Amino acid sequence: MDAPKPNVFVIGAMKSATTYFSQLLAAHPSVFVSVPKEPCFFCDPKILRKAYPEAWQRGYWRSLERYLSLFTNAKGAQIIAEASTTYSMAPLFERVPERILDLNPDARFIYIMRDPVERSLSHYWHRVTYWGETRSMLQALRTNRVYTDVSNYAMQLRTYLQHVDRDRLYVLTYEGLVADPVAQLTDVYRWLGVDPSVRPPRLEVPVNVMPEAVRMSRGLGLLSNFATSALYSRILPCVPQLLRNLGSQMAFRKIAPRAISTSQAEAFLRPIQGRQTEELIALLGRRFDEWTTLYRAI
């Protein structure tokens, strides 16, 4: 197959400005980033179907040819990239590094980390909006390890460092990127081996920021599951607007995330993610004083 293969993977972490970062990368004339940025090709499709239905429906997991079709227009690009945050969601998705390296043994990786407490809270609201999370914040954090596992950056990095040398894995933080995107990009471009003087035309605040209000499923989520199903999408044109509005009110309720206290959730997360961050510090040999929510005095 003559289609170019990706040689750089932005592997996450989820809710850490990977979309913003990918847009900045794609603005460089020597860099190509797939659209969509998250094909999730190297994830087990059975798990992907439940964990990320939208990515599963895109169907890039169905064949290598379908996946590589994303990079057809990348010929001539020095860096060919994609950015699937599911690639750093161990143990939910396993053996991702091995699958990537089977396709391209010379692949390199970029990993963006965010204050783990802030990331976990943002992850919760993401699951409320898109994955039908109906539990309270504290209950969800206590009972579903995905929130703390995805913020366990040392664990996620080790899954890759078992297979590649440290110099093939570039790490940065959300906070550093937002504070000084030019400096961060210059360093990343230099690591990639492309012209570090290039400046994207737009360097605004990251996309996908927290909305003022989100929709939470009511009850057990049965109505909301139907309201977001393929069947409902097909019959929607035949449903009168009055019934649509009534159905939406019955299936969802609006919540303002900024009006919800996070103090109990933060108190629960800090000791867990403090220990995880100590492992990260030992692994990378640097501190993360920019993670002010994690280190905030109780």
**Annotation: CATH topology of 8-207+267-295:** Rossmann fold (3.40.50)
Pick from 41, 8, 3: nearest CA to 25: 8
Q: C-alpha angle with apex 160: 44 to 189, nearest 5 degrees?
A: 110
Across the chain, mean pLDDT equals: 88
Between CA 221 and CA 249 the distance in angstroms is 13
pLDDT in tens, 176-195: 999 999 999 999 999 999 99
Between CA 215 and CA 295 the distance in angstroms is 30
pTM assigned to the model: 0.85
pLDDT in tens, 216-239: 555 555 444 544 455 545 665 775
- Helix, strand, coil share of the chain (percent; to 5): 55, 10, 35
Q: Looking at residue 169, what is its pLDDT?
A: 98
Q: Which sequence spans correspond to the domains of the chain? A: 8-207+267-295, 214-255
